[in-house]
Amino acid sequence: MHVLRIRDFALFLAGRSLGALATQMQWVAVGWYLYDLTGDPMTLGWAGLASFLPIAILTLPAGDLADRVDRRWLLGAAHFIQASGAALLFLLVFRGTSVTWPFYGALILSGSTRALAGPAASSFAPLLVPREQFAQAVAWGASSQQTAIIAGPALGGLIYLAGAPVTFAACVVVALFAAGAMLAVRARIVSSRDDGAGAFARAAAGLRFVLRQPILFGAISLDLFAVLVGGVNALLPVFARDLLHVGPGGLGLMRSMVAVGAIGTSLALAQLPEPRQPHAGKALFGGVALFGVAVLAFALSRSYLLSLFALFLLGAGDALSVFVRATVVQLATPQEMRGRVSAIHVLFVGCTNELGEFRAGLMAAWLGAVPAALAGGIGTLLIVALWTQLFPRLRRVNRLSEVAPR
């Protein structure tokens, strides 16, 4: 049976895609609204930090919850929180709020959604499909996510033309549909029983497991540092308005081009039979290196079309690395620890997107947007060079199906 014909996986995929769609629509609306309101790139950095804080604080406890409670309910609750954050943003812009701190409060609420949903979603997917189809499920999951990331910014930018309140109202509706899809999944799986250990001890056990597995630790930490030093998402509004001179619609297209590159790569990987898949370890490092080169090209470009192409390559490199990393993390982890290990994965990788945005906004405020982006591209390439030497076993990984818990 094709992986997309599995009912629970299809519902799960729909829920994740709708949640990503709402997130990306909100990203465009918040980024443009705050930068247009203040003209200060540091505002975008603070917005990234506000989204990061709940992920940093709540992700590890959420991973423990994912191993101990029904993941359907946890994912449903997370998307209801997402709808609540969008509703608060709607109220703020509808009332014409001109101070920025209430927006950061709403973004903290939205960040709580990622903290709760990340570990549960990552550890749920392997339980909905046969093991031999999991790599394909990862690729389809990545492509569906990227489809939402393509549609979300473009749709958000388009709807924004009717007014910021309309965009946030649409985010509320889409997030509620995401919650409904998750709650409609029939599979009820609780991976571990209560062993009497405290939440901190269980989370620490997951962290110790990751640190003792060079392949796991290398894959997670590579992306952590690459995204932390190389992320440019927070700078897109600055480049769009001040350097490329395009409006919110142009900003939405820039964000979407990252996803266009990612979805093209993900769909190609989903169709590639396992024996013909690229050498996994080299593909992981190559994808991150392509990401760094694309950041450099974007920083130096003053042509809108060339900038879009650079963002396309950035998305392609990111998708290749995500495909390998996400598959390795799940297949190298025993089922009873997948929630906690997924939480560490989300914390080390997912939250660095927001922390990387803070880094980019801070550097842009000090040095300017272009030097901040250039530093990110150079830093990413240095990270790749260093990690190839620190984690030779990861570089030598061949077929993904050969990865198993140790």
Nearest CA among 272, 363, 330 for reference residue 131: 330
Residue 189 is predicted with a pLDDT of: 61
| CA–CA distance, 233 with 373 (Å, rounded to integer) | 10
Q: Is 96 left (phi over 0), alpha (psi -120 to 50) or beta?
A: left
More confident residue, 54 or 80: 80
- Does residue 360 register a pLDDT over 60? yes
Give the ranges where 39-97 is alpha helix by DSSP (H).
41-68, 71-94
How much is the average pLDDT of 94-123? 81
**Rounded mean pLDDT of 205-227?**
79
Q: What is the per-residue pLDDT across 14-47, written as a single tens digit (0 to 9) for each?
A: 888 898 888 888 888 887 788 878 877 778 778 8
Please check the confidence at residue 269 and state whether its pLDDT lies above 50: yes
Amino acid at 227: V
What's the pTM value of the predicted model, to 2 decimals? 0.64
- The predicted structure's pLDDT at residue 177: 93
Cβ pair 31, 168 in contact under 8 A? no
Contact criterion met (CB below 8 Å) for 19 and 79: yes
- Share the mean pLDDT of the chain: 79
Q: How confident is the model at residue 126 (pLDDT cuts 50, 70, 90)?
A: low
DSSP 196: S
Q: What is the mean pLDDT of residues 167-184?
A: 90
- The DSSP annotation for 270-323 comes to HHS-GGGS--HHHHHHHHHHHHHHHHHHHHH---HHHHHHHHHHHHHHHHHHHH
Which residue is it, tokens 């809108």? 304
Q: Tell me, what amino acid is at 280?
A: A
CA 14 to chain centroid, in Å, comes to: 16
CA 236, CA 243: separation in Å to the nearest integer? 10
Q: Report the C-alpha gap between 152 and 133 in whole angstroms.
A: 28
For residue range 225-249, what is the model confidence (pLDDT) as tens digits?
887 888 787 788 888 888 888 877 7
9 — alpha (psi -120 to 50), left (phi > 0) or beta? alpha
The pLDDT assigned to 378 comes to: 93
The CA-atom distances, in angstroms, between 307 and each of 176, 246, 259, 294, 381 are 34, 12, 14, 9, 19
What sign does the dihedral 250-381-23-5 (CA atoms) show?
A: positive
Q: Would you say residue 392 has pLDDT above 80? A: yes
DSSP letter for 3, please.
G
- Better-scored residue on pLDDT, 182 or 132: 182
Task: Please state the rounded mean pLDDT for residues 214-230.
Answer: 82
Q: Residue 32 region, left (φ>0) first, then alpha (ψ -120 to 50), else beta?
A: alpha
The reported pLDDT for the residue numbered 300 is 92
CA-closest candidate to residue 34, choices 87, 112, 89, 76: 89
Instruction: Please compute the mean of the pLDDT values over residues 164-180 and round it to a whole number.
Output: 91
Judged against a pLDDT cut of 70, whether residue 221 lies above it is answered with yes
Question: In this prediction, what percent of the chain has a pLDDT beyond 90?
Answer: 13
**The three-state (H, E, C) secondary structure of 175-188, written as one string:** HHHHHHHHHCCCCC
Say what the pLDDT of residue 17 is. Answer: 86
Predicted local distance difference test score (pLDDT) of residue 123: 67
pLDDT, position 90 = 92
Q: How many CA atoms lie within 13 A of 313 on its CB side?
A: 17
pLDDT in tens, 276-315: 455 777 888 888 999 999 999 999 988 999 999 999 999 8
Could you read off the pLDDT of 320-352 as tens digits, one per residue? 887 788 777 777 777 667 667 777 776 676 666
Element spanning 141, H or E: helix 134-160
Supply φ then ψ for residue 162, to 5 degrees.
-85, -5
Q: Quick check: 10 and 183 in contact, CB under 8 A?
A: no
